[in-house]
Amino acid sequence: MSSLTVTVRVWAKILKMMDDNKQLAQRIDVAIQSASQEVTNLRSELTANSSRLAELGAGDRERDPLMENHDPQHNHHHA
């Protein structure tokens, strides 16, 4: 086998590895973008839930101002 044949084969393997790496990088980029979008969606959902809980809490305090310091679960005396 000539040194030229070896050199060509080595370069072919290098180019194949480079192409494989490029494809892998593209798949990783897509996965990162997808995960980032999911984080954005979850943050938005969390913000909406927090706002809703705050509204519900404010409504409870308006109906019963003592509600802030009152927890019916801890009002029972254990024997």
- Cβ pair 67, 60 in contact under 8 A: yes
Residue 77 has what DSSP assignment? P
pLDDT surpasses 50 at 32: yes
Cα–Cα distance measured from residue 20 to residue 54, given in angstroms and rounded to the nearest whole number? 51
pLDDT at 72: 54
pLDDT at 59: 79
pLDDT at 79: 47
Cα end-to-end distance, the chain, whole Å: 92
Mean pLDDT of 36-45: 98
Show me where the domains of the chain are located. 20-62
What is the H or E stretch that residue 32 is in? helix 3-63
Mean pLDDT of 14-37: 98
Q: Determine what percent of the chain is predicted with pLDDT higher than 90.
A: 65
- Cβ pair 68, 61 in contact under 8 A: yes
